């Protein structure tokens, strides 16, 4: 009888642990770290999606991506993942020249031998007012990360395209 009680107790504990882990695992995997940028002329990044990867797929139009209001500890990654080189442009906008970009992005030229932009050591924001990054004709491998310190946005990444990305102030 004692042996049966021990086996029963062990089985119940094993099932309880398995079920607890199963529910935990299901809850963990129900959360996603990926957000899809919608196919629209404007896309507002939500502060609550900090730390998540924003996937830019096959879009049918140019898209202005607006970052949320500057706040400490925000981080967003934008990656281009589509079936072919994009024929539409994307901008990433902080919304204000007072919340400007610091840093820059590397550039890899898709149309090698076609223009004077073959090798580019980097494209940099001016560090005092540039608040818009324009990416034209993004291709596979394009990745941009932005981090906010509560005032400014630190930017890094690589743009693969046939056109050098540019930084600009608000119009």
| pLDDT at residue number 91 | 97
- CB burial of 118-136 (b: ≥16 within 10 Å; e: otherwise) equals eeeeebebeeeebbbbbbb
- Mean pLDDT rounded to a whole number for the chain: 83
pLDDT digits (tens, 9 = 90+) for 108-129: 888 766 665 566 778 999 999 9
Angle ∠(40,85,143) on CA atoms, nearest 5: 75
Q: What is the DSSP letter of 47?
A: G
Q: Residue ranges per domain, the chain?
A: 1-31, 34-168
pLDDT of residue 86: 77
CA 92 to each of CA 9, 132, 135, 157: distance values in angstroms, whole numbers, following the listed order = 58, 6, 8, 13
Q: Tens of pLDDT along 133-155?
A: 999 999 989 999 999 999 999 99
């Amino acid at each position: 009888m004692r042996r049966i009680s021990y086996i029963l107790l062990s089985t119940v504990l094993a099932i309880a642990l398995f079920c607890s882990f199963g529910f935990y695992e299901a809850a963990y995997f129900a959360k996603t770290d990926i957000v899809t940028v919608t196919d629209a002329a404007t896309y507002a990044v939500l502060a609550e999606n900090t730390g998540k990867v924003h996937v830019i797929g096959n879009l049918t139009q140019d898209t202005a991506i607006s970052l949320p209001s500057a706040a400490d500890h925000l981080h967003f990654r934008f990656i281009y993942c589509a079936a072919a080189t994009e024929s539409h442009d994307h901008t990433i906008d902080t919304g204000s020249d007072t919340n400007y970009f610091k840093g820059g992005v590397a550039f890899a030229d898709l149309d090698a031998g076609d223009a004077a932009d073959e090798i580019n050591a980097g494209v940099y924001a001016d560090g005092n007012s540039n608040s818009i990054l324009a990416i034209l004709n993004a291709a596979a491998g394009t990745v941009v990360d932005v981090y906010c310190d509560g005032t400014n946005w630190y930017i890094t990444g690589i743009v693969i395209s046939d056109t050098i990305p540019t930084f600009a102030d608000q119009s």
